[in-house]
Amino acid sequence: MTQTAFQRRYETFRSMVDRRLASLVRPGEPRDLRDASRYVLSGGGKRIRAVLTLMACEAAGGSARNAIDAAAAIEVLHNFTLVHDDVMDNSPARRGRPTVHITWDLNTALLTGDLLLGIGYRTLLRGRVLHAERVVRVFTGALLEVCEGQALDLAFERRTDVTVPEYFGMIEKKTAALLSASAVMGALMAEASPRIQSAFRRYGHFLGRAFQLQDDLLDVVADPKDLGKPIGGDIIERKKTFLLLRAVTRAEGEDRDFLIRLLHAEPAAAHAAGSPDRAAADRKHLIGRVTGLYERYGILDETRREISRNTKRALRALAILRPGPSREMLHHLADMLVNRIS
C-alpha cells in the first residue's frame, strides 16, 4: 500500500467519524450546554482513536460501518477528557480555538464534559451490539484508566522522586489505555477471537507508549510553527517526562545538581517577576540549557530509540493478522503517529 492510498483511506474513515459526531448532540435545552458540546465535537483533529477502531475492525475481518458507533463513542470519550484537562490546566486554546471554559465558563465546561461522557455511552449502545457487555467493559476500563493516569500526572507535579518505571505506568494509563481500547473495540465489532483481541490490545498499548514519547520529544525538538505552540513547555512546567527523568539519572556534577534544582522548583518560577522581555529571555535560556544537556547526555537519541523499540513491539503484535491492505493500514498508522512533527 502506498502512502497516498493510506492517506485516502484515512480521510475516508475520518469523514465517516465526523459525520457521525455531527449527529450526536440532540436539540433541546439548556442551550449553552448543547452548543458547547457541539463546539467540542466540531473541533476537528486527526480522530486517531476513532479511525483506529475502524481500521482494527476491518483488519479483524469486519466492516468498518459496523464499528462507526463504537468509533464515535471512543472519540467522544477522548474529547470529554480534553475538556476536563483544559480546565485543570487552565488552557486558553485547543486546536486553535478558545477552550470551552474560556468561551463559556468553568461550570459549563465541567457539565459539557459530563454530558459528552453520557453521549459516549449512549452512542456506544446504539442499535444492536453483539458483544455489548464486553464492549462496555472495555470502554469503561479505558475511562477509569485515563482518569487514573491524569491523577498520577498531577501527583507527579508535586513529587521530586518520580522514576522512569512510574512514568511509563502513568502514560500507559493516560495515553496508551485509550488507544488500546480503540483497537480492541474494533476487533470486538468484527467478532474477532480473544487471540486477535489480545493482539490489538498489545498493538494499542505499545503504540500509545511510543505516541507519548514522541510528544515528549517534540516539545524540545519540533519547529514551533509545526507544533502550533512554543517549544519547551514541558521544561517550563517541570513536567516529569522521560527526557527529564533520564537526564537526571545520567547527568553528573554541576549538570545533575542543576537538574535536581529544576525538579524541586515551582513551575511558576519560570514566570519571573519583571518585564515580559526579561521573562521571555529567562524562559529561552532555561529551555536552551536543558535541551543542551539532553543533547550532551544522549537523551534525545535514547528517546528516539525507545520510540522505535515500542513501535516495533506494536507492529510485532500484528503478525497474527492475515497479510493485506487492512494490516498495512495499521502499519502506516503507526508510522504516521511516531514520525509526526506536530
Of the candidates 245, 244, 214, the one whose C-alpha atom is nearest the C-alpha of residue 307 is 214
Class of domain 3-338: mainly alpha
CA distance 99 to 40: 9
Q: What is the pLDDT of residues 33-65, one digit of tens each?
A: 999 999 999 998 999 999 999 999 999 999 999
- Set of cell numbers at residue 247: 537526564
**φ and ψ of 156, to 5 deg:** -60, -30
Q: Say which residue the cell 491524569 belongs to.
A: 150
Name the stretches of the chain with pLDDT < 70: 127-130, 228, 267-274
CA distance 84 to 113: 6
**Residue 12 one-letter amino acid:** T
pLDDT value at residue 276: 81
94 pairs with which residues across the strands? Answer: 97
CA distance 131 to 186: 11
CA distance 105 to 31: 14
Cβ atoms of residues 192 and 63 within 8 Å: no
pLDDT value at residue 274: 61
pLDDT value at residue 129: 65
Residues 6+ apart with CB under 8 A from 18: 47
Of the candidates 57, 55, 76, 67, the one whose C-alpha atom is nearest the C-alpha of residue 6 is 55
3-state secondary structure the chain: CCHHHHHHHHHHHHHHHHHHHHCCCCCCCCHHHHHHHHHHHCCCCCCHHHHHHHHHHHHCCCCHHHHHHHHHHHHHHHHHHHHHHHHHHCCCEECCEECHHHHCCHHHHHHHHHHHHHHHHHHHCCCCCCCHHHHHHHHHHHHHHHHHHHHHHHHHHCCCCCCHHHHHHHHHHHHHHHHHHHHHHHHHHCCCCHHHHHHHHHHHHHHHHHHHHHHHHHHHHCCHHHHCCCCCHHHHCCCCCHHHHHHHHHCCHHHHHHHHHHHHCCHHHHCCCCCHHHHHHHHHHHHHHHHHHHHHCCHHHHHHHHHHHHHHHHHHHHHHCCCCHHHHHHHHHHHHHHCCCC
- Set of cell numbers at residue 326: 487492512
pLDDT value at residue 265: 83
pLDDT value at residue 269: 47
CA distance 72 to 49: 9
Locate the domains of the chain by residue range: 3-338
**Residue 44 one-letter amino acid:** G
